Structures are given as C-alpha cells and as structure tokens.
Structure 1
C-alpha cells in the first residue's frame, strides 16, 4: 500500500536522505507521543483515586497527595506535547533546508518538460502535513488499542462497548477516505489549473490590458476558480458529513459508557470511580480516529504531493549524477537525428534533424513560421532536451556535462531577451556574484562582453551605467536595449557556441551593425555561431544556410549555393547588405 511512497527509484536519493536526516525528530516525537499517551491516563487514575479512596474515607492528605501527583503528571504531559510539536516543526524546517535548493535546481528542467508545474507548492503541502495536526494524529492512532485494553481492565462490558465503538468509527473513517479521495484529487487538479491560469494571465498583464482582455481574462479566471472551489467544497461537504456522524457517535458512546458504568456500579461489579474513568478512557480511545478524519484532507493532499515529488526527482535524476570533468570544448557542434516533441503537442517540432558546425563557422537558419527554428535554437542552447537523438559538443553528448558547466561554453540570445530584476552588470554576468565570483572578475568580464556586443557606450549612457537597476523582466530598458544587453550576456566569458534566435528583431541600424560586428568577432575567435533569421540583414555574415520546413531540413549548404537554389531564376545570390554598408 505504501510502496509507492518509498523513495527507491534512481534520482529520489535526496528525498531518502532528507527523511533519514529527519529520522531522529520522528523517533523522538514517537517516544514523546508514547509518554504523552501514557500520561493521558492521569485523569482516569486521579478520578478513581478520588472516588474510591478520598471520598469514602474523607482523607484530605490523600487528596492533596494525589492532586499534586496529577498536577505534576499533567504538567509533564503538556511539556512533552509541546516538545513533540516542536520536534515535528523542526523536522519540517529541516526538510525545507535540505530539499528546497534541490527542488529549485530541478525547476528549470521540470518547466521544460511540464510547464506550469507547482513543485514548491507540492513540497509546502508535505511540510505542512509533517508539522501539523495530521502527523500528531498518526502518532496517537496506535495507542487506541492500549486505551481499549484499559477499558477491558475496568470491566469486559466496558471494553466491548469501547471496542465496538472504535470499530464503527474506524469503518466510518475508511468510508470517508473512499468517498473523499476522488473529490480531493479533482479539487487538487482544478486548484492547480486555476493557479497556473492566474500566474499566466499575471505574467502577460500588459498584453491583457493593451488588447482589452481584462474582463474576458477575469471571467475565465473566475470560472476556473469557481470550478476549483466547487470541487473543494464537495470534498469538504463529504468530509464534514462523516465528521458530524463521528462526533455524534463519540458523544453517544461517552454517554453510553457513563450509563453502562453506572449500571455496573449499582450492581457492585465496579467501583464508583470507574464511572468517570470509563467515560474518559473511551473518549481518549476514539479521539485519534476523530482527529484522523478531520486531518484526512491534509494527509491526502500531502500523500499526493509526496508522490508528485517522487516523480519530479525520478524524472530529473540526471541532475545529481557525478560526471567526469571534461576539458574545455573547442566548439565542434553536431546534432544527430534530433527529434523534439514538446509537452502537450501531438506533432513533433523537429523530426530527425542532423547538422554539424565547426569552430569559426556561422550557420544561418531560415524557414517559414512554425518550421521549428526556435525549437532548434533551444535544443542547441541546451534549454530543452531532445525527445530522441543527440546533441554533441566536441563529440561529448550535452548530458556528459553538468548543466551549468555546459552553459559556461554556450551563449544564448532568445527571441524574448528574458532579463531579470537586478543591475545591468548582474544580467550580463549571469548573476555570477551570487555564486561568490569576485567583483573585479565580474566587472572585467561584463565590460568585455558588453564591448564585444557593441553595447558598452549605450550602457555608459544609462543613469547609473552598469549599476543601473532593472525591474522584473528587465523593465527600465526599451525592447531594443534589452536585446542588446541580452546579446552581451550571451557573449559573457567568450562561449565557444553562440545561439542567436532572431537577434535583429528589435534592433535599429546602429544595433544591427553592432550585432554583425559581434557575430564576426565571435567567429573570428573560433566560436561556432547558429543564428535564426527572418530578416536577411544578418545573413550576409553566414558561411552556410539551413532551411527548415515542418521540422525537417529541406536545404543545407554554403550560403551562396542555398540562395541560388532558393532563387533559381537569378544569376547571382541576392543578399541584403548589412546596415551601413552603402554609406561605408
């Protein structure tokens, strides 16, 4: 039943290690729970002593003694209960400390495979369950048989009543689990979809406002949220119905225990103190079951989230592999029968694409919209993993290098610049200062990259130069400026592979001239350059051209030959000269 919850698959070792690190917390919480549940017998024993010893004899010293012992026992109970709660909270904090960085390390890969995944939210569900009342109910549940045994010690009839009541409540709890599980699963799925839609709409708020889609967007979100809340309400109604029945039965059993104990006392079969003791024991015996029913939605959510985390770690197992450190590559790039089918699509975006690129060569990729050009750029940049086939750098598969180490040798300029909140220098340097890089090194390399991209002078004209702070998504710069800063980021540390996706889409003549100079400079130092282009201005710097159509390579070869094949009626290939060429 619980085999699917055990982290045994390759890649789930971090989860197993985190659980092992928290084992002392759980063990001591279990020990303290045992002591707490033993001390919960204090009111029972105290009532029996008062009614059986103090009241008949009028022994005030005995009353004071047993009262002092009871106060000490209850104070100890409260202290141990506080300690076990604190231990579970500490366990949740330790899980957070051990796993969050590893989870964040997998978010990038996971988002490429399954966009919209809510990994940290799933983890928070698990951590909340570990630190909350659900975990305490699990620790208390095994003590129900002990309390039932104590009831049998008072009298077999009282034990039988408690046992039957516990069985009935347990059956109700199982029925609650059976009825609530599908509703809770539906509620969780709808809730995740609603959150994802809300985040997507918020991320594109400018487009929403500009196109007059506010009301439509609100209506869609409200509709999705209504579905999610309706599912949640159905699950809560189901659980609430069983909770009410269980509470009624518990109260009825309490009264039945009092009545049965009074009858047995009248017949001289038990002492008067056993009347209250029977009621207290029965209440304590069935209380964990009632707590379990109340905490069931939280526990089921945590169970589903834990399974999701196991799948996340198993699907990103390669992140934790220990890899041999390979020498710095020279820039020989090769794609071998690369096929890519993105999540949620039926038709592959790339179909068996093969190409090779030597250091110093510039390959221009052309083709109609939807032909797979951007997907090709993402594959070469290492942003996504091919569904089939291999991408190799100097003969080594991309997977042979750890992700960040591979990225040190690749420069990538996507269609959307994708700048982050921080200074211009932080964005160009890929936030290396956060990893402990010295300020002198970061400054030197950032300025060198900006000069290589021809953007140094533009940055100096900003209010605070390289220290100008940008908002989320690079707000504070124009689209063209953002693209030029992103080009400098791509050139940071002189990568041996340079991938440019529509690099001149938002550039003016000055920016396009700087781009062409940057491409020539990268090729001159031996970088392999792959650039996607719709506008022909940058194709003049290409050595070879490759044309994609419907995800397959249609034409590939030297630039002039490809242009001749594309324009068979012309005697010479026509290439639009780069900006500034005529004036020069």
Structure 2
C-alpha cells in the first residue's frame, strides 16, 4: 500500500472539487445552446407567424438563460482560482522543506516551488476549462444528430479529426518540449545566480563574457525548442482552419437539406452554431496541451520528491544536550560524484570542551563542521550529541541547541533582528543577549536603523566583517549548547578579532562546547583539543599542547647513502 503524502491528499481533494466543476460545466454547456435554440425559434416560429409576443418571451427567456450562464461561468472561474491558491498554500512549504532536505542529502532536489506554480497555473487557468468542456462535446453532437443524421455524421467526423490532431501533437512534441523545458529551468537558475553576484562579475570584468555565455546557451535552447513549438503551432493553425472548413461544409450541407425540405432554415443556422460550440473545446484543448504537459511533468517531479523525502515520524523531543560529541567512523561522500571527502573519522569531545580544527586547504575542515552540526548527513558512520545521532534528530529541534557560523556568511531578507532570531519572531532579550555576547551590539546600534536595518541579497550594504559579526550573534541566539564556527576571523578587523576572542572565552567559561576552524595563534590558545585533517582523514587528534608541539618538531633526517667511488 503506497504511503499517503501531502501531495496525494491535496490532489485527492482537488479531484473531489473537479466533480462539482464537471457539473457546473455541464450546465454551462447546456446553456450555451441558448443562442442556437433562440435562432431556431426565431427563424421557424417568429418570422413565419409574425408574433411579437412570441419574440418578446423568447428574448426574455434567452436573456435569463445567458445571465444564468454568466453567473455559473463566474462560479467556475472563482472555484478554479480558489483551488489554485489553496494548492500553493498547502504544498509550497512542504515542497520547500523537502527540497532543502534532499538538496543537503543528494546535492540536488527532484522538484521545487516552481513546480507548485505550474500546478496552480494549469488548475486555475483556461487550460483546465478547455478539458472540463471537452467531455460535453458529445452532447452538442447528439443535438446535431437529432436535427439530421447527415449533419451529425459531419460533426462527429470533424470532432474525431480534431481529437486525432491533438493526440498526434502530444506524441510528436511531448518529449522534446520536456527536455527543453528542463534545460531552460536550469538556465534561468544560472541567470539568477549571475544577477545575485553581479558585483563580482563587474569587478572581474566578467559581465560581458557571462552574458554572452548565457545568451549562447539560451539561443541554443531556443533553437532546440523551435522545431517542437513550430510543430505545435502548425497543429493549432491546422485545427482552426479545419474547424472553419467543417463549419462551411455544415452550412452547405444544411442548405442542401433545406432545398430537399428535410431541414428548416432555422435548423441550418442553429446546426452551424451548435457545431462551433461542439468543436471549440476540442480546439482549445489542442492549444492548452502545452500547459497540460507542464502540469504533468510538474506532478511527476513533485511525486518523485515526496517519494524520495517521505514524512519523518514524530519523535520524542529530547532534553537540552550538554554538548558531548562522539564521532564514530564518519565518512562523507560528495552527493553527485560519490567522491569521499571525509574518510573514517572517529574521536570524542567532552561537553564544555573547545576543539580547533586545522589542516591544509581542501582537507575537509568545513565539511566536518557541517557534519558535526547536522547540516550534511553522514554517508557512513555517525555523529552523536549526548548519545543521539544528529541524523535522526529533528532539524528544528536540534537547531535550537546548535550555533553555526558558516564559512560564507549569508544574511537573509529581513531586519538584522529577524536574522539574529533565525527568521523567527524576535525575542528582544534573546536578540540583545546574543548580540552583546558576540560583541556586535554597538556595531548594530551604529547603523542608521539599528536592529531594524534591512538585509538580504540586494538590500544590504554591510561589509563582510559586519555580516560575520551579526552572523556570530545569530549563532549564539537562544544560548545553544554546541557552537561551530567555520573561519570566524576571516573578515574581521582588529576590533572584531578582540570581540571574537572575548566571545570564545565567555563560551568556555559558561561550559559550552565550541568547535572552530582557524589557523590564527590567537584563537588556538583557547582550544582544549586540536584535530588535524589531511586529505579528508584525521591525521592527529589530542590535547592542544601535545598536538602543536608534535607538529613543531622537525622531521627526522634520513641518513644519506654515500656511494664509494672506485678509482
């Protein structure tokens, strides 16, 4: 039995609403016969009898029917709009949460919130209305058949030909459009990254080359999609031309039947109007097929995301950890390539200890930090805090007890206070306490709007050092038990380094477990333990003085062999 996911629950609810929409569509399509019936009665009754009363009553009834049609059509569209908004509200957060989890675990996500937007666009737009109206085409065809079997045969043949064109259009364009759409999504993502890092591109003189590179890729994608789009457009144009030809054939046949006294003039006109109503949904469905293709692909990607990232079972919330860390056989492999980055690390860190991680560039220091705080799941082995595996701990629960300063600092859209409060409702005393302990309080007050200064990818004007000190305050928010700092002094000036040293000293005195990556002697003196990484492995681990003294010893000189020369 397949697992019930939020996506399945939402789509099941949508399908229940579709039954109501189908009922409303039936009423709408029946009321669309109003103009045809009105025309038939005018030609066959009013003009032949000259009755003004009949004309008045028929006109009133037709107006009331069309007014009812307008109200029902409004209800249909409002229902679709409400369904689209509800889908986005119900799924966007779930999709974002799972996409982030899969991105951390696998290096990429099967779907994202743009797929939810594709679902909303199809389910709340005209494309779905075309498909909802199409099933009632047989009703119109039956009415035409009742007027005369020959007219009915022409109408049925025309509908079948248009339907065959729709199916052929899907078979010939579906795969090509799916591949091109996926590549275009990636290209749009690249464009967003380029715009976000415009300062770097401008400073390095890369803007022209970057834009040219992106434009070349976009032109290549456009060229690949031109054939499929041209084919789809050809089918659409052919269907419209064919519909007009069938309508002319219907009029001509109707005129012949009138001359044969097998049909009235009103029936001829009414049959032509009903035929246009019968074929319009089929023609609209051909135009909406591309939107349906995007909906189908988005549904498949979302289903895969929910399959690969199922709901986590509710877990008992654990007590606040003291900060003991046990690393057992930790291995981490790059998600995309499978290349090992951390290789079988094992060590123990007592609660309240301070660990310095050192090693050459590319040795895995930042990767180890991310695994220790649960940001990256271990490929093999385990990282435990107070005996609990961080991979099995709910990330939101664990995050309240963890402070983390990444190597590349990013402040998110919002105020400084909101960023320090980790984008939750800022609790004033906790924000101020974290800022003061990080030595950032006076720095923040010196800004024009203080704690209300807006930050984000495009709105902030803070320096790298200012961002780093605010991010330190964010790491200390809520008084966490374990604090990991990755290169915390990389952007700091003299005052910032003094504030950092005071912060680490304060954390040690309050019994917090502190882990930092740094080569600065001023920080290493605060370390109780030192871990030396080399090529992803643990080269040394032990008390600071012991490790540093062993590293400072000169390597033993191997005796050189002197070859005896024969004279």
Does TM, scored on the shorter chain, surpass 0.5?
A: yes
Matches within 5 A, 1:347-366: 347-366=339-358
Matches within 5 A, 1:104-503: 104-112=96-104, 113-114=106-107, 119-318=112-311, 321-433=313-425, 442-463=427-448, 465-470=450-455, 472=457, 475-503=460-488
Contact 2:403 2:482 in 1 (8 A): yes
Could you tell me which of 86, 111, 124 is aligned with 1:94? 86
Give the direction of change, closer, same or farther, for the CA distance of 1:474–1:391 in structure 2 (3 Å limit).
farther
Residue aligned with 2:340, SS = coil
Structure 1 counterpart of 2:565: none
Structure 1 counterpart of 2:553: 568
Structure 1 counterpart of 2:525: 540
Structure 1 counterpart of 2:508: 523
Give the direction of change, closer, same or farther, for the CA distance of 1:374–1:280 in structure 2 (3 Å limit).
same
Q: Compare 76-85 and 553-562 and name the one that shifted more.
A: 553-562
1:542-562 CA distance string (max 9 Å, x none)? 222222223222322222333
Please report how far the alpha carbon of residue 146 of structure 1 lies from its aligned counterpart in structure 2 after TM superposition: 2.0
Asked whether 1:549 is paired with 2:541, we answer no
1:358-407 CA distance string (max 9 Å, x none)? 21112221222122211111122222323343332222222443322211
Counterparts of 1:70 and 1:130, CA distance in 2: 31
Give the direction of change, closer, same or farther, for the CA distance of 1:421–1:259 in structure 2 (3 Å limit).
closer
Give the direction of change, closer, same or farther, for the CA distance of 1:304–1:532 in structure 2 (3 Å limit).
same
Contact 2:110 2:304 in 1 (8 A): no
Counterparts of 1:335 and 1:474, CA distance in 2: 40
Residue aligned with 1:317, SS = coil
Please report how far the alpha carbon of residue 111 of structure 1 lies from its aligned counterpart in structure 2 after TM superposition: 4.2
Counterparts of 1:152 and 1:335, CA distance in 2: 79
Counterparts of 2:138 and 2:347, CA distance in 1: 70
Q: Compare 180-189 and 550-559 and name the one that shifted more.
A: 550-559
The TM-score with structure 1 as length reference comes to 0.88
Q: Compare 335-344 and 119-128 and name the one that shifted more.
A: 335-344
Structure 1 counterpart of 2:35: 43
Superposed CA RMSD in Å reads: 2.6
Counterparts of 2:499 and 2:546, CA distance in 1: 27
Please report how far the alpha carbon of residue 195 of structure 1 lies from its aligned counterpart in structure 2 after TM superposition: 0.8
1:457-507 CA distance string (max 9 Å, x none)? 444444555445545478333322322222222122221111110112222
Please report how far the alpha carbon of residue 33 of structure 1 lies from its aligned counterpart in structure 2 after TM superposition: 0.4
1:316-337 CA distance string (max 9 Å, x none)? 334x542222111111222333
Counterparts of 1:91 and 1:79, CA distance in 2: 18
1:220-270 CA distance string (max 9 Å, x none)? 121222233334443321111001111111111111112222222322333
Structure 1 counterpart of 2:564: none
Counterparts of 1:474 and 1:411, CA distance in 2: 25
Asked whether 1:28 is paired with 2:20, we answer yes
Q: Compare 348-357 and 253-262 and name the one that shifted more.
A: 348-357
Counterparts of 1:475 and 1:563, CA distance in 2: 41
Counterparts of 1:137 and 1:373, CA distance in 2: 57
Structure 2 counterpart of 1:577: none
1:151-192 CA distance string (max 9 Å, x none)? 222222222222222111111111100112122212311221
The TM-score with structure 2 as length reference comes to 0.90
Residue aligned with 2:525, SS = helix
Q: How many residues align?
A: 555
Counterparts of 1:133 and 1:114, CA distance in 2: 37
Q: Compare 114-123 and 386-395 and name the one that shifted more.
A: 114-123
Contact 2:323 2:385 in 1 (8 A): yes
Give the direction of change, closer, same or farther, for the CA distance of 1:153–1:541 in structure 2 (3 Å limit).
same
Please report how far the alpha carbon of residue 343 of structure 1 lies from its aligned counterpart in structure 2 after TM superposition: 4.0
Counterparts of 2:463 and 2:478, CA distance in 1: 25
Contact 1:359 1:523 in 2 (8 A): no
Residue aligned with 1:432, SS = coil
Contact 2:357 2:518 in 1 (8 A): yes
Give the direction of change, closer, same or farther, for the CA distance of 1:304–1:9 in structure 2 (3 Å limit).
farther
Counterparts of 2:280 and 2:415, CA distance in 1: 57
The unaligned stretches of length 5 or more in structure 1 are: 1-7, 572-584
Residue aligned with 1:493, SS = coil
Contact 2:373 2:390 in 1 (8 A): no
Contact 1:116 1:196 in 2 (8 A): no
